[in-house]
Amino acid sequence: MKEVRVRFAPSPTGPLHIGGVRTALYNYLFARKNNGKFLLRIEDTDQTRYVPGAEEYIIESLKWCGIEYDEGVGVGGPHAPYRQSERKELYRQYAEQLVRDGHAYYAFDTPEALDEMRERLKARGVATPQYDLFTRNEMCNSLTLSNEETERRLNSGEPFVIRMLIPENEEIKVNDLIRGEVVVNTSRLDDKVLYKSDGMPTYHLANIVDDHLMEITHVIRGEEWLPSAPLHVLLYRSLGWEAPQFAHLPLLLKPDGNGKLSKRDGDRLGFPVFPLRWTDPESGEVSSGYRESGYLPEAFINMLALLGWNPGTEQEVFGMDELVDLFTIDRVGKSGSKFDPEKAKWFNHHYLSALDNSYVSELLDKQLAEKGIKAEKSYIETVVGFTKERAVLIPDLWEQSWFFFRAPESYDEKVVQKFWKPETPALLDRITALLRETSDFSADNLEARIKAFIQENGLGMGQVMNTLRLSLVGGSFGPGVAAIIATLGKEEAINRILKAKEALA
């Protein structure tokens, strides 16, 4: 059997949308599942839409997600180069071959002539005027000009494009692995430009030529490309090539299901639509990313995998290897998937809680380093053990644990009013003494001793525990009081109690 070869072929026109990441992911999973190859090709033939930094952004995003490619920009491979602008010379011969074989033609129409044509058609009541079998005969092209005139124009360097000559009234069948057979009548198609006056191919030509030369067996891409598929099938046929299998993935929808989740939805809906933060090179506008917002790539990938594909069971949590194992195209749905930002958080919380303390402690350690705080690895691991389950996003690790690294600078006014009584300082002195004489500083032992102290002295549990907690962390949050004392250690815990006594005196 032929080796499976798939590609992700983004255009560097801006940051990669999460829908694009999903397309890359499904291609990757499909390749791995079938022991095939996954390629990254950069489709940058539209120079007017080129955005600096976008290509680097795409590559960094795939890297962050753990979506590795076997061939492509940055890694090379047998079909290099993988950047279409560097393959420019290659496309013209295929455009010319199509003209020679009667599947395409030269067109010399000026932009003004094209505008006039559209106006003329609109006046005749045509809703979507296009260059097609009804109009091409009224235009300036190698079909209407004599051979000599066409030659003369080409030789004199007059600007031209090459257009596809769409055959009349033919049923084109696209066999889609997700949608089944899609049939389109060619009379509805326009004579798309294949080769532009700037010497660059258009997306359609370059895409087909490269998919053929790069031996792509399956084209897995977004639904927005389905309308182009009949033209692509026609191009393969006209060039005498076998077409790959197609699979058009369902759209990602806004959370309310109303329409496609677009790049412009950005932070407008309160969640990122890009994997990484992006700063627009022109406007300087910043769009947030999953990475910078504190998501783990594992959680992000797990969430994306389930937006369009389902395993056929109730299982929701999948690592990349497991996804590779289970992924099949026939479990990709036809209808759009609503993006659910709460589910994204749910996955992140799940992964943060499930990851081992040593891994999570590295995440917290990075945040500590940014704040200039140094701590022992074992200490950070202990802290993470209490706090990771309370964290939804990575920055929450700090929010939930800062008091293990810094003594409180202030004390919550409400808690002070409720629990700080005239007799509190004397009570704290007795607890300090108790801590001093305790040698087994485990949380369990501390808990038992403090409880016994409270009972023996007929004190209120809430009263004692709340004032103690207030002195240690400055408020009414955090894990159990005994666990906090045990983790801080004798000296630090006693210092904090003394400091609170002084501050609140």
Q: Which is nearer to ligand GLU, 69 or 403 (CB)?
A: 69
Q: Which long-range contacts (CB under 8 A, 24 or more apart) does 147-152 make?
A: 150/106
Q: Which is nearer to ligand GLU, 69 or 203 (CB)?
A: 203
- The residues that touch ligand GLU, with contacts defined as CB under 6 A, are 9-11, 43, 203, 207, 221, 225
Q: Does 263 participate in catalysis according to the annotation?
A: yes
| Measured CA distances, 230 to 182, 190, 193, 435 (Å) | 9, 11, 15, 79
Q: Which is nearer to ligand GLU, 206 or 306 (CB)?
A: 206
Burial pattern 416-444, b for ≥16 Cβ within 10 A else e, equals: beebbeeebbebbeebbeebeeeeebebe
Residues 6+ apart with CB under 8 A from 86: none
CA separation for the pair 238, 370 (Å, rounded):
59
Q: Which is nearer to ligand GLU, 184 or 393 (CB)?
A: 184
Helices (H), 34-145: 54-65, 88-100, 111-123
Report whether the peptide linkage leading into residue 230 is cis, meaning its omega lies within 30 degrees of zero: no
Structure tokens at 164: 């596809």
Q: Which is nearer to ligand GLU, 13 or 382 (CB)?
A: 13
CB 386 to ligand GLU: min, Å? 46
Q: Is 301 helix (H, G, I), strand (E, B) or coil?
A: helix
CB 210 to ligand GLU: min, Å? 10
Structure tokens at 265: 């939805």
CB 45 to ligand GLU: min, Å? 9
Q: Which is nearer to ligand GLU, 218 or 501 (CB)?
A: 218
Structure tokens at 124: 């005749």
Catalytic residue among 196, 263, 388, 501: 263
CB 287 to ligand GLU: min, Å? 18
Strand partners, 183: 173
| Measured CA distances, 456 to 83, 91, 325, 406, 437 (Å) | 78, 90, 61, 33, 17
CB 206 to ligand GLU: min, Å? 9
CB 52 to ligand GLU: min, Å? 17
Please, what sign has the CA dihedral across residues 269, 273, 275, 279?
negative
Q: Is 401 helix (H, G, I), strand (E, B) or coil?
A: coil
CA separation for the pair 300, 323 (Å, rounded):
13
Active site residues: 263
